[in-house]
């Protein structure tokens, strides 16, 4: 299921999760009202969920609340929000582009991948250290 720019409360997300126990894949874009804690609780209520991608949400600096969705073989990857300066040509204006935070979480029997780009922070409950 793909949801875009929906929801205004964490409670709405949690009610949605209660009603979709067989949902296996969820993608959400521009749902900036949802907190990390609500996303984590919803993921645990979606007992059949195998893949979660969220772009634009109420991100914290560390992603600590996302650890509530941790379970065996469940990989959680955080891409923190960032601002990128773009100048496509020498004569054009310099533009600052905001990239919202992303979450990618998925099941994998192979474990955590090791080819993370610099922009990705793997969240592992066993090794999580608050910065």
Overall average pLDDT of the 29-52 stretch:
92
Residue 40: predicted pLDDT: 95
Residue 130: predicted pLDDT: 66
Predicted TM-score (pTM) of this structure: 0.84
Instruction: For residue 38, count CB atoms less than 10 angstroms from its CB and return exposed for 0-12, middle for 13-18, buried for 19 or more.
Output: buried
Two tokens at 19?
A: 């009603």
Residue 48: predicted pLDDT: 95
The tens digit of pLDDT for each residue in 91-110 reads 777 777 778 889 999 999 99
Strands 102-107 and 51-55: antiparallel
Residue 108: predicted pLDDT: 93
The C-alpha angle 50, 62, 113, rounded to 5 degrees, equals: 45
Higher-pLDDT residue of 61 and 44 is 44
Using CA atoms, how far residue 86 sits from 28, 46, 96, in Å, is 26, 39, 6
Does residue 123 have a pLDDT over 80?
yes
The C-alpha angle 96, 83, 52, rounded to 5 degrees, equals: 130
């Amino acid at each position: 299921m793909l949801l875009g720019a929906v929801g205004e409360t964490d409670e709405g997300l949690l009610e949605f999760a209660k009603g979709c126990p067989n949902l296996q894949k969820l993608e959400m874009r521009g749902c900036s009202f949802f907190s990390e804690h609500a996303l984590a609780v919803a993921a645990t209520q979606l007992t059949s969920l195998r893949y979660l991608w969220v772009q634009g949400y109420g991100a914290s600096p560390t992603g600590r609340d996302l650890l509530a969705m941790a379970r065996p073989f469940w990989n959680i990857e955080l891409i923190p929000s960032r601002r990128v300066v773009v100048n496509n040509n020498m004569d054009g204006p310099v533009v600052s582009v905001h990239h919202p935070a992303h979450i990618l979480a998925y099941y994998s029997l192979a474990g955590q991948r090791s080819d993370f780009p610099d922009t990705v922070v793997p969240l592992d409950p066993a090794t999580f250290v608050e910065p």
